[in-house]
Amino acid sequence: MIAPLLLGLSLEPPTFPEVEPVEGECLYAVEVDPEIQGCSGLLIPTSYAAELLAWKKYGEGLAELYKVDTTVLEMRIEALEEPPPWHERPEVRRWLGRAEGLVLGAAVGAVAVYAASK
């Protein structure tokens, strides 16, 4: 259980790509006038959009690197949700233990009676 954790920690995360500014882009975000274009919006510099896409790609790389394989965990949960077989239920085991103790006590008593009669 600790081995996958250590293996995951030993892997290096993907490097974050550097985004270069694009020539001729706006230096800051500008609101688009609805009277000119017919709709309102926000015009952002191209390098901002490229940086957001780089962050998205970086996040997807991290998610892929540190993805947890949940199939084993799901199988364990399913096994816990199934009812146990009849002979593994606590009530059955208690009664079997009581019967075993009764038989063992009777055997010890029989041996004691037999040894005392000789």
Residue 100 C-alpha from the chain's centroid: 43
Residues in a beta bridge with 42? 31
pLDDT the model gives residue 77: 87
pLDDT for res 11: 67
Tell me the pLDDT tens digit for each residue of 19-62.
777 787 777 777 777 777 677 777 888 888 888 888 898 888 88
Give the residue extent of every domain in the chain: 10-67
Q: Which residue has the higher pLDDT, 4 or 76?
A: 76
Provide the token pair at 102. 């009764």
Q: What is the pLDDT of residues 73-118, one digit of tens each?
A: 788 888 888 888 888 889 999 999 999 999 999 999 999 999 998 8
Cα 118 to Cα 106: distance, rounded to the nearest angstrom: 19
Measure the CA–CA gap between 46 and 57, rounded to whole angstroms: 17
Assign 6 a pLDDT band (cuts: 50, 70, 90): low
SS (H, E, C) the chain: CHHHHHHHHHCCCCCCCCCCCCCCCCCCCEEECHHHHCCCEEECCHHHHHHHHHHHHHHHHHHHHCCCCCHHHHHHHHHHHCCCCHHHCHHHHHHHHHHHHHHHHHHHHHHHHHHHHC
